[in-house]
Amino acid sequence: MLIGEIGRSAMLMLILVVPYVWISSIWSAMTRNPRVTLSSKMAVVAQFLLVGLASACLIDLLITNNFHYAYVVSYTSRSLELIYRIAAFWGGDAGSLLFWLLIMSLYTLVVRFTRHEDSERMLPVVTAIMSFVTMFFVLVLNLAANPFTVLSAAPADGNGLNALLQNPGMTVHPVNLYLGYVGFLVPFAYGMTALILKRADATWLKVTRKWTLISWLFLSCGIIYGAHWSYEELGWGGYWSWDPIENAALMPWLAATAFLHSAIIQERKGMLKAWNVILVSLTFLLTLFGTALTRGGLLWSIHAFANGPMGFWFMSFVGLMTTLTIFVIVWRWGVFKMMTAKFEAVVSKEGSFLLNNVLFLGALFAVFWGTVFPLVSEAVTGTQMLVSGPFYNSVVLPIGVALIFLMGVGPVLAWRRANMKSLRFALMIPAAVAFGVGIAVWVAGYQNLLSLASYMATSFVAASILLEFYRGALARTKITGENMLFSLVRMISKNRRRYCGYVVHLAVVVMVIGFATTGGYSQQVTVNLTTGQQVQIGNYVLTFHGLETKDEPGKVLLQGDMLVQALNHSKNQSTLGPVIGVLKPNVTFFIDGNQPTTNMGLYSMPFADLYVVLDGSDYKTGQSLFEIHLNPLVNFIWFGGYLYILGTFLSLWPERRRKAKPESPAVRNPLPEPIA
């Protein structure tokens, strides 16, 4: 009981410490008294240590199966593996809020002790804003969702973690999402600080962009990993099903993506200052709003969040934060009036970035409207109505195609005013490539229109980006005389943000090819097979070699055995090639009486996945029922995902601070503008 009491006491002490951080930060900002500043810094350390202590105590209770605590009983059991006992920390409502608080206090600590231009003036205000949000979480944890609630009598065993969640995904997906979600508080705090201090200038933007990019990277990792996990789990609706929770993660992602692009205009031109503050605020408010929607039981989600008082708490807080944000923006509107540059032409890089923002916010609004539609329709008509996949696909996919097209045009547009003649010249090759690919795909017999449009749009973008790399490297080679490859590497390393941004765009292209192909050309057969029978799907033949049972600790597996062979086509006949893979779909029965789970058998090739589900067997007839899917290019979604993470990561990697040899300005920065 001692550990639990320490955890609970740590949480209680936070009720005093966090307000102290808040007050002392404000005091420090107003007086700039070194002693007050030091004291507030120490309070930030204490805040982190106390949250860390409470978290460590909760993890200890979970690991040691201390069933005196309701939270431990709800999410663990004696037979649960250690890794999932730790994962139970963020597996439940109260624990996940403490986890949120842990990340937030860690970020506050990092932010408070970083140094940048004007940090002495800005950081106390930033800290005050962050600790204001922290206070809300401390209150909710102590009053409404305390993970240290003691039971009157300890049961012999806990309820355990649901079998579907006992998956490595449970250690990766939620953690990344929280790291991303919580991270958006930092850009918001900087945005508000910039306004309060009347400093909506470059310093604010530089720090904010970095924090947004970090949070955006985590959020993207979380979303991509979640999609992968959902793809492999039967009954979760594939890699994306437009569930309210998925939308809750997508909405801040869309707003942040819009910001990462419009930030470039402010950086280069000093324009759109107000707009950028609004975008980072919107991103942060959407993270709170998403949490309020999905935790309050307001919306039905396939992610079964608890229906509790959490919705009321979060909704009230969203209301408060939105009001305060609008107040600060209106109060300090004058700060934005110092805008100097003006748009000189519609067809220009500035114009394309603005259109990008309109499209991203259009998609955001569509997702938002679809997500809250049940609430709106109930308020207006009295009956809840909802929209699902077809609605989102019919709105978001066309916007997506427009965005992809823009990705191809944007890089070749000049700042200020594009020269139409050179624009036409620059786009000629990508357009020719797109039409070539379109015709080739059509002739090859793949005539699904949406997929075809996607292939053409993506090849247009890919050609346009690769040409950018080529032209840049060629220009450098001409000046320096280096060889092409060396020149390319040097060019990328010297303009890392710009070219890594293009890598992220290429990653999106790869992912879209995956979406378009699985969407248009997936095949599915459902067959009953007896031992020795074969079934063909696409270019593959699967031979069923019978069922076997396997005993594992705590469970028994009923496993099907299938061999995969590819068909080789020669002039007039098809022959079976050698065995290339084995599929082992199974049904797992748990000895403790839990519901059996179905695990699909997967044979993954670079260009296609064979995905088999064993869905029952009849002992009388000896037949087993299989659902077999052939998903072409589905791996492109994950390959693209990895490339996307790599591109963002490289773009974030700090610049080396060594002095470069003097070079001519043209070589140092032949194409200077950053892309993200």
| Residues pairing with 602 in the sheet | 611
| Residues pairing with 528 in the sheet | 625
Q: Which is nearer to other proteins, 167 or 651 (CB)?
A: 167
Among 16, 83, 202, 304, binds other proteins (CB under 8 A): 304
Distance CA 420, CA 348 (A): 10
The answer to whether 414 contacts other proteins (rule: CB under 8 A) is no
Distance CA 286, CA 300 (A): 18
Among 390, 445, 553, 654, binds other proteins (CB under 8 A): 390
Note the Cα 573 to chain centre separation in Å. Answer: 47
How does strand 601-604 pair with strand 586-590? unpaired
Q: Which is nearer to other proteins, 177 or 633 (CB)?
A: 177
Note the Cα 600 to chain centre separation in Å. Answer: 25
Number of residues lying near other proteins (CB under 8 A): 72
Residues between 223 and 252 with contacts to other proteins, criterion CB under 8 A:
230, 233-237, 241
Distance CA 349, CA 338 (A): 22
**For other proteins, which stretch binds (CB under 8 A), given 46-54, 216-224, 298-306, 485-493?**
298-306
Residues between 70 and 89 with contacts to other proteins, criterion CB under 8 A:
70, 73-75
The answer to whether 386 contacts other proteins (rule: CB under 8 A) is yes
- Residue partners of 471: CB distance under 8 A and separation at least 6: none
**Shortest separation between residue 373's beta carbon and other proteins, angstroms:** 7
Among 305, 455, 611, 638, binds other proteins (CB under 8 A): 305
**For other proteins, which stretch binds (CB under 8 A), given 268-276, 327-335, 387-395, 660-668?**
387-395
Q: Which is nearer to other proteins, 135 or 150 (CB)?
A: 150
Q: Could you write out the DSSP letters of every residue in 603-641?
A: EE-SSEEEEEEEEEEETTTTEEEEEEEEEETTHHHHHHH
| Residues pairing with 559 in the sheet | 548, 586
The answer to whether 91 contacts other proteins (rule: CB under 8 A) is yes
The answer to whether 300 contacts other proteins (rule: CB under 8 A) is yes
**Shortest separation between residue 645's beta carbon and other proteins, angstroms:** 23
Among 9, 142, 203, 384, binds other proteins (CB under 8 A): 384
Residues between 560 and 579 with contacts to other proteins, criterion CB under 8 A:
none
Residues between 342 and 371 with contacts to other proteins, criterion CB under 8 A:
342-346, 351, 354-355, 358-359, 362, 365-366, 369
The answer to whether 627 contacts other proteins (rule: CB under 8 A) is yes
The answer to whether 525 contacts other proteins (rule: CB under 8 A) is no
- Tell me which residue has tokens 């050309």: 521
Among 528, 534, 539, 543, binds other proteins (CB under 8 A): 528
The answer to whether 618 contacts other proteins (rule: CB under 8 A) is yes
Among 159, 422, 523, 664, binds other proteins (CB under 8 A): 159
The answer to whether 270 contacts other proteins (rule: CB under 8 A) is no
Distance CA 458, CA 509 (A): 5
Q: Are 602 and 609 in contact (CB under 8 A)?
A: yes
CA distances for 566 relative to 445, 576, 604, angstroms: 20, 6, 13
- Residue partners of 100: CB distance under 8 A and separation at least 6: 137, 178, 181, 182
Q: Which is nearer to other proteins, 275 or 639 (CB)?
A: 275
- Tell me which residue has tokens 């508000």: 192
Tokens for 137, please give them: 């979480």
